Chain A
Amino acid sequence: MTHPAATLIFLLLIALVIALGFMAGRWKAGNLAHIEEWGLGGRRFGTWVSWFLIGGDAYTAYTFIAIPALMFGAGALGFFALPYTVVCYPILYLVFPRLWNVARARGYITGPEFVRGRYGNKYLALAVGLTGIVATMPYIALQLVGLQTVIGALGLPGHLPLVAALIVLAAFTWTAGLRAPAMISIVKDLLIYLTVLAAIIVIPAELGGFGAIFAKVDPAKLLLPVPHAHSGGLYTGYATLALGSAMALFLYPHTMTGILSSSGPRVIKRNAALLPAYTIMLGLLALVGYMAVAAGVRSMPQFAASFAKYGTSFAVPALVLHAFPAWFAGVAFGAIAIGALVPAAIMAIAAANIFTRDIWGPFFTAGGTHGSALTAKLFAMVMILGALAFVLGLPSTYAVQLQLLGGMWVIQTFPAIALSLFTRFFNGWALLLGWAAGIASATWLAAEKGFSGSIWAFHIGGYSLPSYIALATVLLNVLVAGALSPVCNAIANDRARDETRAEDYV
């Protein structure tokens, strides 16, 4: 144990969170054997709990490590996280209150269930559901990588601490369901806000102010490079990365679960105006990457081994150890670790809801599609153990690459979920073909980039238009689905299979 004071504080915070996680089962009492209670908290969370829950869910430990790491390594490009987490809120406001309404009216607890009800097509719902589960797996694994990084920074030995944290996570997820991360997210966010506030007050003072920090950053990385003539350059790359990421954000099972667990459309709309507070925090946190550059942590001998092991992801932990007193480093690491456990729990629960309602129910049981909380609980354990095996068994670059692909895949459910809330123009089979075209083209382009980049330069009439692969391929997806819908309707019209009514949406 190389940092005893920090480790002690860290362990105390984790213990507090464990206690809260188990107490959460008794909060806003409901029958936890029922999946709507276990997996959706009974749709009862008000404005403030939802603010903490969705914030804790969308702004994860991986974000807290990865975005500053991207700034630390690549510079200005990493700041796309800001426009990304601004434009996602008009989308949240316009699209998701309608999803909440129809989900409440029809008893849906997942996005794919809505798709199945809308088109009467369980195969389309299966495609949408599997996309969500597959995109979520590497995301959970990355939370564990974040957890592993801070455990490593504290100098705790071996894999035992990670395994212990995961067993605890599994235990309170089993007993309390979504209530556990909802309650813990409050502690997590208070700690994160405290850490960020301390970072932007203490560290710049040590380094001679923000002017001095920006002056230490390579001038070539401080701004996006100006594009050449006849090219959108990184300008279109940056904007499409922000827009595409924003469209995908609330399609992930865990964020959608966070939204559907709120007590109504007004709560969602209010949160579209309140959640940007997290974006300001994220922007300040991104700049911690530059503070790490200015402090010169990379060339400090005591961190050399960890940088070799974790790469730029170690920038934030290194700066925390370097700039803060030991006890506060414990608080900061506690915040990051809890920031990994909250979304990991919600991700496991959300994937389990989809498995129960959209895979197990319709395909493996006779008749009943509602499923029990027990099926969901078991599958949540599978997700957590799978993520643990992933992290212990495979190099972390696989998780990063799969997460990159996950974003490109999950956006392919935008037409089936988001557009279907506004129109019944599409045919279910045509949406499935559009989805396949989107998934195939996105995967192919990402493979061409060696799974290490997400921007592709498209050439249109002598003009180069670099674009986030996800955004370009979801356009193809919509075009295919739109063009084939009249054709599919001529062969097998599915209009009559829509179980939803116009009044369900408002």
Chain B
Amino acid sequence: MIKFLLFLVVFVLALAVPVYNRITPELFGFPFFYWYQIAIVPVASLLIFIVYRLDERGSADK
């Protein structure tokens, strides 16, 4: 179940367009729209990796 919640977080972070369609706050000259969408990539990667570890632990118990 937690697996699906983590994946849901990835979808929400990536598809919540009204939340990130804005200029400020800027970072290193990047408007928010651009740096946010780049910044969520490693976050998504980490969440997927956590799911993988949970799966591995799950199959080791069996």
Contact = CB atoms under 8 A, between A and B. Distances in A.
A86 B44 contact: yes
Contacts of A87: 10-11, 14-15
B54 to A, nearest CB: 11
Interface in A157-215: 209-214
B34 A79 contact: yes
A195 B7 CA distance: 32
A68 to B, nearest CB: 14
Interface in B1-50: 7, 10-11, 13-15, 17-18, 21-23, 26, 28-31, 33-34, 37-38, 40-42, 44-46, 48-49
A273 interface: yes
A211 B11 contact: no
Interface residues of B, number: 32
A272 B48 contact: yes
A223 B30 CA distance: 12
A274 B49 CA distance: 8
Interface stretch (A89-97, A113-121, A307-315): A89-97
A280 interface: yes
A90 B23 contact: no
Residue in A83, A277, A284 with the greatest tally of chain B CB atoms within 10 Å: A83
Contacts of B40: 86
Interface residues of A, number: 39
B15 A273 contact: no
B17 A238 contact: yes
B37 A79 contact: yes
Contact of B17 (A224, A269, A274): A224
A79 B40 CA distance: 13
B51 A83 contact: no
Nearest to A280: B41
A61 interface: no
Interface in A62-93: 76, 79, 82-83, 86-87, 89-90, 93
B33 A223 contact: yes
A188 B11 CA distance: 30
A76 B33 contact: yes
A287 B37 CA distance: 12
A222 B14 contact: no
A299 to B, nearest CB: 24
Q: 10 tightest CB-CB pairs across the interface, nearest first?
A: A211-B29, A210-B29, A83-B14, A273-B49, A90-B7, A273-B48, A276-B45, A82-B37, A235-B17, A239-B15
25 contacts: A79-B33, A82-B37, A82-B41, A83-B14, A86-B44, A87-B11, A87-B14, A89-B45, A90-B10, A93-B7, A93-B51, A210-B28, A210-B29, A213-B29, A214-B29, A214-B34, A222-B33, A223-B23, A223-B33, A269-B55, A276-B45, A280-B38, A280-B42, A283-B34, A283-B41
Given A239-B15, A277-B45, 10 more contacts: A82-B41, A83-B14, A86-B13, A87-B14, A210-B28, A214-B30, A223-B23, A242-B15, A276-B41, A276-B44
